[in-house]
Chains A and B, each alone.
Chain A
Amino acid sequence: MDDIILKVKDTIVELNDTENLEIEFPDSYIKDLAKAYVDEDLTDDELKELIRKLKQAYDRARVEAGEAVGTVAAQSVGEPGTQMTMRTFHYAGVTELNVTLGLPRLIEIVDARKDIATPTMDIYFNEERRDDEEFVRILANQIGKSTINDILSDFNLNYGTMEVEAVLDSKKIEEKRLDRDEINAAIEKAFKKVVINGDEIIISSSKSDKSESKFEIRELRLLADKVRDLQISGIKNIGKVIIRRDDVPFELAEFEGQKEWIIHTEGSNLKEILSKEGIDPVRTTTNNIHEIGEVLGIEAARQSIINEAQNTLSEQGLSVDVRHIMLVADIMTSEGIVKSIGRHGISGEKSSVLARAAFEETGKHLLHASIRGEVDDLTGIIENIIIGQPIPLGTGSVGVKMDYKNK
């Protein structure tokens, strides 16, 4: 295939030289041309003709200088957006994780929210561990949140001695692949007066003299809740985990129909998960764009905005050309940090006073501008509409200049 791609490139160079076509195709076009050359069994002359025709179609499809691409993008995302449901669905099928979808999710993305409603992670495993169920289950329980309540077989409040009596379930501990010593250490660390006797744990209130307090019973019950909710495993910010089995993606599979284990999490902590042994540091990802920006950089955040927005739209059966979303993502990340579209981001930081005043909080912007003595150069669209001049857009973006030398 590589030699055919080279051949296509050579043909383009040849056409550029002989017919002065000034062809500059993106790589994907050259790949498609090479594929067509092989699949359709084209002759060299046919390939040349195909390139000429493609050049024509390509030039027709290109955006003209002065086109209002931002407005077109806004309309192209906005119109399908009106058809989105406001409802948040639950993940259908295998997983029972609740994930924000539809319009609320899209708003979250363009607003660049720091705290998204349902952060989730997809954790993949490297080649060795991909099919290792035992390893995946152990890791899932390490990162997923477990409390004492999850491993109890019996739980009693003894009002006579004012003690909490808990009996742990060895089977459940075994099932969750938890370490008994770690559990005991966590319990001992959290409560002062603890007696651990095998599976049996007796905890009494840390207040020294119990007889005098008239809130004794209430305190015991509060203590009982504390015992139940004591976290014994898990990574910060991560809640429930779900293990799923799926096909290995086509590019990575050694043979067809290869399956792998994937962990989905409620909550997200990309940094810690990426440093775990055995996971795939290439594919493991989160849906929290800010977190991606912090851990993987601004370019990864840009890509993540595109992926998340497109997935959100396509899940609702809407297809928006990815170029519009790319433009949004480019603008959101152009300053090196993820900025929101809207009052606190792009629109609120425009250099023109009139443009800001036309968007939101008119009074505030005009007042502040007059106090500071701001100057508006009237280079944008809105400013010129406000004062009634032709706008610098489309045919309005060109002017006439006199050439003094050639009179």
Chain B
Amino acid sequence: MKIDIQNHMLVPKHEIMTEEEISEEFSEVDYDFKNLPKIKSKDPVVKAIGAEPGNVLRITRESQTAGEFVTYRIVED
């Protein structure tokens, strides 16, 4: 039986960001989005959503402290 790991309680929501979303989100920050925390291209969730190296993922975590917290990771080889 094949299961969808994205439903697991430990796995937060991962979404691939479009080019526009990336430029909108990172235009006013004082760091390069290429220095974001990384996620490997062989990561099971990356495979499941079909992201490719260079994509930026928006990760919406359920946080114990903030309720909901949005963070980003960049896919690398």
Residues of chain A whose beta carbon lies under 8 Å from any beta carbon of chain B: 26-31, 274-277, 281-283, 285, 292, 294-300, 303-304, 322-323, 326, 330, 333-337
Contacts and interface: CB of A to CB of B under 8 A. Distances in A.
B11 A299 contact: yes
Nearest to B44: A297
Contacts, number: 94
Contact of A297 (B45, B66, B76): B45
A296 B10 contact: yes
Contact of A299 (B61, B63, B65): B61
Given A276-B1, A282-B9, A299-B59, A330 B66 contact: no
A392 to B, nearest CB: 15
Contact of B12 (A28, A295, A303): A303
Interface of B: 1-5, 7-12, 14, 37-40, 43-46, 59, 61, 63-69, 73, 76
A298 B39 contact: yes
Question: For A26, A294, A297, which residue has the most chain B Cβ atoms within 10 angstroms?
Answer: A297
* 9 nearest CB pairs, A to B: A27-B67, A28-B67, A26-B66, A300-B10, A297-B45, A336-B38, A336-B40, A281-B3, A334-B37
Nearest to A310: B64
B11 A283 contact: no
Contacts of B9: 282-283, 285
Contacts of A337: 40
A335 B39 CA distance: 7
B38 A281 contact: no
B10 A285 contact: yes
Most A Cβ at <10 Å: residue of B4, B8, B61, B64: B8
Contacts of A285: 8-10
B23 to A, nearest CB: 22
B65 A26 contact: yes
A336 B76 contact: yes
B65 to A, nearest CB: 6
Contacts of A274: 3, 5
A275 B3 contact: yes
Nearest to B12: A299
Contacts of B10: 285, 292, 296, 299-300, 303-304
B43 A298 contact: yes
Nearest to A31: B67
A300 to B, nearest CB: 4
Given A294-B44, A295-B5, A298-B45, 7 more contacts: A281-B5, A281-B7, A282-B8, A285-B10, A296-B10, A334-B38, A336-B39
A66 B16 CA distance: 32
21 contacts: A26-B69, A27-B66, A28-B63, A28-B65, A275-B1, A281-B5, A281-B8, A282-B7, A282-B9, A285-B9, A296-B8, A296-B10, A297-B44, A298-B39, A298-B40, A298-B43, A298-B45, A299-B59, A322-B64, A336-B39, A336-B76
Contacts of A30: 67
A26 B67 contact: yes
Nearest to B43: A297
Contact of A296 (B38, B45, B61, B68): B45
A189 B63 CA distance: 52
B46 to A, nearest CB: 7
Contacts of A297: 5, 11, 39, 43-46
Nearest to B64: A322
A31 B1 CA distance: 39
Most buried by A among B9, B14, B46, B76: B9
Contacts of A31: 67
Nearest to A292: B10
Contacts of B67: 26-31
